[in-house]
Amino acid sequence: RPAGRGMAAAAFERRVLRRAAEHHYLRVRLELPDGGARPSAAQFKQLVVTALRELHGEVGAALPVDVLTYEEKTLSAILRVISSGLVKLWSALTLLGFYQNRRCAFRVLQTSPFLLALSGNSRELVL
């Protein structure tokens, strides 16, 4: 009799446990084509809140968004938002068109449920 016959085949079960991430992180850049004054960290945060208010009203403006890093020189930031508010934040940033009566545009460069994923970009790595 061949080996293994009559014996119960070992059952392998693969379990993937996925807990929904509590927050999402976005790397964004503000583009101000005409130059001029650059927003401070406080003004940048206010601009994000304004974008949320314009698209989603007061409920949107109450969405908890944190500016974890902001670089005034490059107008780049890393934002943290609760995962349920990711689409609201992204859409509000995308549709914002003006900062202090000047044309502007937010570019979402990267997004992830893991902050570490945004900490470095391998394409910008200098060896």
pLDDT of 4-40, one tens digit each? Answer: 555 555 666 666 556 678 999 999 999 998 777 899 9
What is the CATH class of 23-119?
Answer: alpha beta
Residue keyed to tokens 């990267």: 110
The mean pLDDT of 105-127, rounded to a whole number, is: 79
State which amino acid sits at residue 66.
Answer: D
Q: Which residue has the higher pLDDT, 58 or 125?
A: 58
- pTM reported for the whole predicted model: 0.78
Phi and psi at residue 114, in whole multiples of 5°? -120, 120
pLDDT for residue 125: 47
State which amino acid sits at residue 22.
Answer: E
Nearest by Cα to 60 from 93, 29, 27, 30: 93
> For residue 59, what are its two tokens?
């409920």
Domain ranges in the chain are 23-119
